[in-house]
Amino acid sequence: KAGVTQTPRYLIKTRGQQVTLSCSPISGHRSVSWYQQTPGQGLQFLFEYFSETQRNKGNFPGRFSGRQFSNSRSEMNVSTLELGDSALYLCASSSGLAGPDTQYFGPGTRLTVL
Amino acid sequence: QQQVKQSPQSLIVQKGGISIINCAYENTAFDYFPWYQQFPGKGPALLIAIRPDVSEKKEGRFTISFNKSAKQFSLHIMDSQPGDSATYFCAASRREYGNKLVFGAGTILRVKS
């Protein structure tokens, strides 16, 4: 099976802009979770989508949002970018049928905010 | 109560030695404890996971030891190899959280040949 794919791999934006990141899960997986990874805060959970519905949410401001499509692909959006949003954004997919189950991470999208 | 504390921050081990990384958690409702390995430029990959109904789980050179009363768990890498050099994260979750993982801060392991 193909692994989790994330696009784009690298992104440079300026403060105030918005950005959309995409994640394609492993075929057959219905759960997609998003994490932010930074040197200072480590890996932090953003949200999880299962069958197009947000199932869990972390402690991030409303500028961070996501959605999932009927084919399980997911996007996350960050509006009004701040310098502190610079991070590696990781998505992880799993079957989602009985949580928690094994999550498979993609390579991430490296977002730099200038 | 959501924290998972991981130590040490970094670790240098000789080839063939044993690498030990420790984690402690606060929330007694956690019921799933995975370890992830991350290489530079890659996403984390599941190494091994344990649930609190067992005290130890071994897969190849990797062993998780779990102490429920102390709320601690550890990863032991036997016969450490240079290829094991990576960042290791412990994590915890609970059934009600779905797939939400609470991660430790990570341990950078370097195995010297």
What is the DSSP-derived secondary structure letter of residue A57? E
Contact B94 A96 (CB under 8 A): no
Residues of A within 8 A of B95 (CB-CB) are 99-100
Q: Torsion angle, CA of A37/B37/B14/B72, rounded to 10 degrees?
A: 90
Confidence of residue A95 (pLDDT cuts 50, 70, 90): confident
Confidence of residue A99 (pLDDT cuts 50, 70, 90): low
Contact B103 A42 (CB under 8 A): yes
Pick from A35, A42, A48: CB nearest B105: A42
What is the DSSP-derived secondary structure letter of residue B32? B
Residue of A nearest to B99 (CA): A100
User: β-strands A10-13, A109-113: how paired?
Assistant: parallel
Residues A97-112 have a mean pLDDT of 89
Q: How far apart are CA A100 and CA A102, in angstroms?
A: 7
Q: Among residues A87, A83, A96, which one has the least CA distance to residue A33? A: A96
Pick from B89, B100, B104: CB nearest A56: B100
Burial class for A20, CB neighbours closer than 10 Å (0-12, 13-18, 19+): middle
For chain B, which residues score pLDDT lower than 70? 1-2
Residues of B within 8 A of A103 (CB-CB) are 46, 99, 101
Q: Torsion angle, CA of B81/B82/B87/B90, rounded to 10 degrees?
A: 0
Q: How far apart are CA B93 and CA B9, in angstroms?
A: 22
Residues A87-94 have a mean pLDDT of 96
